[in-house]
Structure 1
Amino acid sequence: MKRKMCGLLALVMVFTILAACGSKKENATTTADGVTTIEFWAANNPTQQAYWGGMADAYEQTNSKVKINVSVIKESPTSESFIQSAIAGGSGPTISENINRGFAAQLANSQALVPLDTLTGFSDIITTRNMEKTMEPWEFADGHQYVLPIYSNAMLFGWRLDLLKELGYNEPPKTYSQALEVNKKLKAKYPDKYFWAKAALADPTSHQRWFDFFMLYNAASGGNKFIEGDKFVADDTAGIETLQFVDDLRKDNGVLAQTVSDPFETGTGMFIDLGPWTFTNWAERFPELKYNENYTLSMPLVPDDIDPKDSKTFADTKGLVIYASATKEQQQAAIDFVKWVYSDPKNDAQWFDETMLPPARDDLTTNDAFKAILDENPQLIPYAENVSNAIPSIDSPKYNELQTFIGTEAWNKVVRGEIDPATGWANMKKVIEEELQ
């Protein structure tokens, strides 16, 4: 009995301490004269930190009742683990960027996030920023929106246009059968070159599937969600067709899943996934690569029975979240700040100009605020055109495990010729459904 009483007293003391900490936090974040302080954690990128620091300073000039402290999310060992540790230790921020949909699902599952659609002003952001179509695939399985995407890289495939022209083509193929035909001509002319040369095709690491499997699968399935909450909702036909295409390429010796230094840039491979961040690096290392001269860009290939105009792709995208541990005053101050930032497209234009990451908007190619950036960087136009055709990562808290299974059970084995596409898909589906139970 004495031991039970000691345990009860200890429990009371813990709750007393927590209550006191919560009281101190609230007092510290809203002063007597009504000034609310919010903590904004920016990505560990000097450009992004500078951008948000500038936005915070400008907002404070318009609103004397809000103070915004901008600091960097530490990567110890990763930004995700640092955020989780901070939340567990009671030192999490009010708001942070750099959150992908899968990690948001983990945080939402532990009730660490505020459903943004429950905050006053959130719907105004969606309308004013002109991002209704872009936001559609972001809805979570419970019907809420936990992330406001900042940027969206509609992942595209790059093609060596010079090689295509040597083979008699003035533009990239659009369907699987057209691509297989191109590969046969490539191998006939250049036996030592490959259609798709990329070591990561055989790498089971979960995030690698964003840049191969999901790009093709999203195109084949019309943007099917694959996982919805705890349900496997993937399109079996589209999944098997995706694997079959890669298997057909392999059979025709069109795939090289080995380490080769810069295979696309040096012409060993003619086809590769590309994000808009690539071009800054190329300007320094491969200045000879010129858009629409010796390389070009396209949306993912589609099965022969699908209109290429309906192609979808994977969205390499991250966004803002607001944390449930923040006070109500902080949560509202945070959403009001975000609303102010996105009330003027010039702020998105500044982001685009400084980061080269396309803002998550439907109007990048029609809004004059972005015209100068796109005129100066025409290689970014296809990314801007397809923001609303890009699908974010799955919204499961187990996204790392599930995407690993795609590789270990199906994709990697098909690439290596160890399993047929239908069997690989069936095996993958089985282990994913077991993991979701």
Structure 2
Amino acid sequence: MNIKRYLRRSASFLALALLLTSCSKGHNNKGYSLEYWSSNNGGEIRFSEWVVGQWNGRQPEAKVKYQPVPEGQSSEEIILAAVVGKTTPDIYSNIWQGSVEFYSQAGILVPLDTLEGFMDFIQKRCSPETIREITSGDGHIYQVPWKVNPIMTIYNKGILASLQLDTFPLTYSAYLDAARQFRKDTDGDGYVDQWFGNTSVKLAWYQRLFNFYPLYLAASDGAPLIKDNRAAFNNEYAIGTFRFLQEVYKENYFSKEQQSAGQDLFVAEKIATKF
């Protein structure tokens, strides 16, 4: 597999805007018509505050109440809890494309194509290919694609140079060979304390969007995980990706430490690459 494509294909993670029907009540009583949540990323918060301010200034009869999604282990878990508790916003702009189908089947999303003028809007904004991609299995559209979250690999150029590498390894075999050279027990205590990389080892399902999925997209040239409502990844690309991830942990090429615990191993030069 050519890992170089990983940097391009992994930008396929779409964060999407959508309307929720199980919204919290009482906006009008507080002077607002709709409630909107964005991600809690600093740049997006500033952007959302600006957009909502512009809207409210021009549409005082239909003001929007804004806040970033509440803090939690993940925004996916926060939204799911809000759905269960019927405290969702009316508009949410930080949802993964794959989750939209789940919520649409649960009957809690507004089919945007039933709104007057929506199809003219989406056809001007998106290509026919994109419109086909965002159309749900029931023929309706519940989402508006508006941003991408690129998943990338960073690496220490000095460490690669010490391994006589001019560039980042571009294949699984080259990557594993470099990892074999760099892995070390530097203090002689019998435990590896210098690794070639790391990625999340948390069991939460969405963590696979940041390691397996982008590697699979790169290997398969963007093939979907689901096709015709059936799993479509029992193939050489998924098997190769899982074997690669299995080997980097089996051979101690990757650290098993949680990325949020203790010092940053990449900054400390204890790991050479990081997804």
For 1:106, the equivalent position in structure 2 comes to 102
Of 58-67 and 240-249, deviating more is 58-67
For 1:145, the equivalent position in structure 2 comes to 141
Query: Is 2:249–2:256's contact at 8 Å kept on the other side of the alignment?
Result: no
For 1:242, the equivalent position in structure 2 comes to 241
Code of the aligned partner of 1:196: G
What does residue range 186-225 of structure 1 map to in structure 2 within 5 Å? Answer: 186-187=182-183, 192-198=193-199, 200-201=200-201, 203-225=202-224
TM-score by length of 1: 0.46
Secondary structure of the residue that 1:111 maps to in structure 2? Answer: coil
Superposed CA deviations along residues 134-170 of structure 1, whole A, max 9, x for unmatched, are 6664443334332223321121111111111111222
Structure 1 pair 83/181, CA: closer, same or farther in 2 (3 Å)? same
Query: Is 1:73–1:82's contact at 8 Å kept on the other side of the alignment?
Result: no
Code of the aligned partner of 2:244: F
Structure 1 pair 151/253, CA: closer, same or farther in 2 (3 Å)? same
Whether 1:163 aligns to 2:159 is yes
Cα offset for 1:79? 2.6
Cα offset for 1:131? 6.7
Whether 1:51 aligns to 2:47 is yes
For 1:256, the equivalent position in structure 2 comes to 255
Percentage identity across paired residues of the two chains: 23
Structure 1 pair 194/124, CA: closer, same or farther in 2 (3 Å)? farther
Query: Is 1:38–1:67's contact at 8 Å kept on the other side of the alignment?
Result: yes
Cα offset for 1:242? 0.9
For 1:38, the equivalent position in structure 2 comes to 33
For 1:269, the equivalent position in structure 2 comes to 271
Code of the aligned partner of 2:273: F
Cα offset for 1:179? 1.3
Whether 1:185 aligns to 2:181 is yes
Whether 1:95 aligns to 2:94 is no
What does residue range 282-321 of structure 1 map to in structure 2 within 5 Å? Answer: none
Q: Radius of gyration: which is bigger?
A: 1
Query: Is 2:112–2:140's contact at 8 Å kept on the other side of the alignment?
Result: yes
5+ long unaligned stretches in structure 1: 1-24, 30-35, 274-437
TM-score by length of 2: 0.68
Secondary structure of the residue that 1:151 maps to in structure 2? Answer: strand
Aligned partners of 1:66, 1:162: CA distance in 2, in Å? Answer: 56
Cα offset for 1:74? 4.3
Structure 1 pair 159/81, CA: closer, same or farther in 2 (3 Å)? same
Secondary structure of the residue that 1:154 maps to in structure 2? Answer: coil
Aligned partners of 1:79, 1:95: CA distance in 2, in Å? Answer: 14
Code of the aligned partner of 2:110: V
Of 36-45 and 157-166, deviating more is 36-45
Query: Is 2:113–2:140's contact at 8 Å kept on the other side of the alignment?
Result: yes
Aligned partners of 1:258, 1:93: CA distance in 2, in Å? Answer: 36
Code of the aligned partner of 1:256: S
Structure 1 pair 111/193, CA: closer, same or farther in 2 (3 Å)? same
Aligned partners of 1:251, 1:92: CA distance in 2, in Å? Answer: 42
Code of the aligned partner of 2:111: P
For 1:116, the equivalent position in structure 2 comes to 112
Superposed CA deviations along residues 60-95 of structure 1, whole A, max 9, x for unmatched, are 4445654333345445895314531453xxx65432
Superposed CA deviations along residues 153-206 of structure 1, whole A, max 9, x for unmatched, are 1211111111111112221111112212322333489875222234x33x3221
Aligned partners of 1:57, 1:188: CA distance in 2, in Å? Answer: 54
Aligned partners of 1:130, 1:258: CA distance in 2, in Å? Answer: 41
Code of the aligned partner of 1:246: L
Q: Cα RMSD over matched residues?
A: 3.7
Aligned partners of 2:269, 2:72: CA distance in 1, in Å? Answer: 37
Structure 1 pair 131/79, CA: closer, same or farther in 2 (3 Å)? farther
How many residues are paired up? 237
Secondary structure of the residue that 1:69 maps to in structure 2? Answer: strand
Query: Is 2:79–2:88's contact at 8 Å kept on the other side of the alignment?
Result: no
Structure 1 pair 141/195, CA: closer, same or farther in 2 (3 Å)? farther
Of 151-160 and 256-265, deviating more is 256-265
Structure 1 pair 129/257, CA: closer, same or farther in 2 (3 Å)? same
Code of the aligned partner of 2:269: G
Aligned partners of 1:102, 1:144: CA distance in 2, in Å? Answer: 15
Cα offset for 1:112? 1.1
Cα offset for 1:267? 1.5
For 1:298, the equivalent position in structure 2 comes to none
Aligned partners of 2:176, 2:88: CA distance in 1, in Å? Answer: 51
Structure 1 pair 161/205, CA: closer, same or farther in 2 (3 Å)? same
Query: Is 2:38–2:94's contact at 8 Å kept on the other side of the alignment?
Result: yes
Aligned partners of 2:136, 2:92: CA distance in 1, in Å? Answer: 19
Query: Is 1:38–1:93's contact at 8 Å kept on the other side of the alignment?
Result: no
Cα offset for 1:213? 1.4
Secondary structure of the residue that 1:164 maps to in structure 2? Answer: helix
5+ long unaligned stretches in structure 2: 1-24, 187-191
Code of the aligned partner of 1:59: W
Cα offset for 1:119? 3.0
Secondary structure of the residue that 1:265 maps to in structure 2? Answer: coil
Q: Which has the higher helix share?
A: 1
